Amino acid sequence: MPLTLTRALEAVLDGEDAEALRRATARLIEVYRSGAPPSAQVLRDPVSAAAYAAYRMPATHAAVSRVLRYAAEVVPGLAPRSLVDVGGGTGAAAWAVAEAFPGLGSVEVLDGSADALALGARIARNGPSVLAGARWTRRDLAANAPLPQADLATVSYVLGELPDDLGGRVVDAAMAAAGVVVVVEPGTPRGFAAVHAAREQLLAAGWHLVAPCPHEDACPLAAAGDWCHVGVRLDRTALHRRLKGASLGHEDEKVSYVVARREPAALPEGRVLRHPVTRKGMVRLEVCRADGNAAAEVVSKRQGPRYRAARHAGWGDRWPIGGTDPAD
């Protein structure tokens, strides 16, 4: 059975002081829900790092995994050999990349928290060989030092915690370091604002979008005061439920993201923006379209293959406007 992040977390966190983890988790939740950039290092000690790993790694991993799946659908030949994970903390994004791309040969995780990096390295020793051999490097992003060169740079759950000017410098550094950049933030208005700023910065630098956008025009949701995000459902572990005081066996992580690269990609004709609404004989989709507009589309049973395609469509999926039935 392949090693998984869940098993790795269990192997490393088993035996930790449960009450200390609960207190640290409550503090982290309060910090992240405040919506303001932290004024000090959040993962400031081993207990905070352990709480973060138990509470946030599964959700971050699930979100980045879904984003990478969307990117690979648009660029089927996407196969990075090297990764730099910027602000990677305990390495959740690195786990997602290693699982998505079996040919990955090298990983470097950068973060300002020595405790997060040390814990991430311990967790990674229970994972794939590329993670077990990863480099875990302490780096102050405000220092403006160049990032290590890599095929892929991930910047996940980082920009929203930085001042706007520093966030822009981090995106510039990622573009200088890699041929593909993945930016992931919480699917909130603030998180989307950080993603949208990165999108505009990437486009202004001459980069090309891969996902989620089916076009490179102005974002119609931002123009309307809305925000683009997608929901990712993940199973909660027993430890996760205990730390959050939760009863449900799953949770829905809302995520905003952008993936871009130096070369143009064959973008889809549309992207589903919300959960499709299914009624007898019809499906209503909210779609961002290749022409730069976002609008509702109602697909009826009389439309045959197009209707079957709509019934298979999910929030965040490409919308095959040509009517291809994904079941065929």
Q: Is 321 a residue whose pLDDT tops 60?
A: no
- Is the pLDDT score of 2 beyond 90? no
Is residue 327 assigned to a domain? no
Query: What pLDDT was estimated at residue 244?
Result: 65
Per-residue model confidence as pLDDT tens digits over 209-222: 999 999 999 999 99
Residue 18 Cα distances to 21, 41, 92, angstroms:
5, 22, 22
| pLDDT computed for residue 277 by the predictor | 95
In a domain, 325, yes or no: no
Contacts of 2 (CB under 8 A, 6+ apart): none
DSSP string covering 101-143:
-TT--EEEEEES-HHHHHHHHHHHTTS-HHHHT-EEEE--GGG
pLDDT digits (tens, 9 = 90+) for 286-298: 999 999 999 999 9
Contact criterion met (CB below 8 Å) for 151 and 178: yes
Question: Average pLDDT for residues 235-240, to the nearest whole number?
Answer: 71
Are 31 and 255 spatial neighbours (Cβ–Cβ below 8 Å)? no
Which residues are bridge partners to 178 per DSSP?
Answer: 150
Do the domain assignments include residue 321? no
Say what the pLDDT of residue 327 is. 39
Last residue in a domain, options 202, 229, 261: 261
Section 57-83 average pLDDT: 96
Is the pLDDT at 320 greater than 80? The verdict is: yes
Residue 287 and residue 246 share a domain: no
Confidence of residue 1 (pLDDT cuts 50, 70, 90): very low
Considering the domain boundaries, does residue 117 fall inside one? Answer: yes
pLDDT of 245 reads 65
Share of the chain above pLDDT 90, in %: 73
As a whole number of angstroms, the distance between CA 189 and CA 129 comes to: 38
Question: Once rounded to an integer, what is the mean pLDDT over residues 133-146?
Answer: 93
Do both 248 and 278 map to the same domain?
Answer: no
Give how many domains the chain has, as a whole number: 2
- Work out the mean pLDDT of the chain and round it to a whole number: 90
Supply the pLDDT for residue 240: 65
Instruction: Specify if 328 maps to a domain.
Output: no
Quick one: pLDDT at residue 102?
95
Q: Do 35 and 72 sit in the same domain of this protein?
A: yes
**Whether pLDDT at 72 is above 90:** yes
Q: Which of 122, 121, 256 is nearest to 185 (CA)?
A: 256
* Residue 26: per-residue pLDDT: 83
- Position 13 in a domain: yes
Q: Is residue 142 part of a domain?
A: yes
Same domain, 229 and 307: no
Most confident of 12-16, 29-33, 37-41, 63-67: 63-67
Looking at the structure, do residues 292 and 189 belong to the same domain, yes or no? no
pTM to 2 decimal places: 0.91
Cα distances from 27 to residues 6, 24, 123, in angstroms, run 23, 5, 22
What does the pLDDT average to over 266-283?
95
User: Are residues 118 and 70 part of one domain?
Assistant: yes
What pLDDT, on the 0 to 100 scale, is given for residue 71?
Answer: 97
pLDDT tens figures, 150-186: 999 999 999 988 887 899 999 999 999 999 999 999 9
Question: Is 250 found in the same domain as 222?
Answer: yes
- Residue 326 falls inside a structural domain: no
Identify whether residues 129 and 41 lie together within a single domain: yes
Whether 103 and 238 share a structural domain: yes
Domain that includes residue 280, residue range: 270-312
Q: Are residues 79 and 124 in the same domain?
A: yes
301 and 251: one domain? no
**CATH code assigned at 123:** 3.40.50.150
Residues 230 and 298 in one domain: no
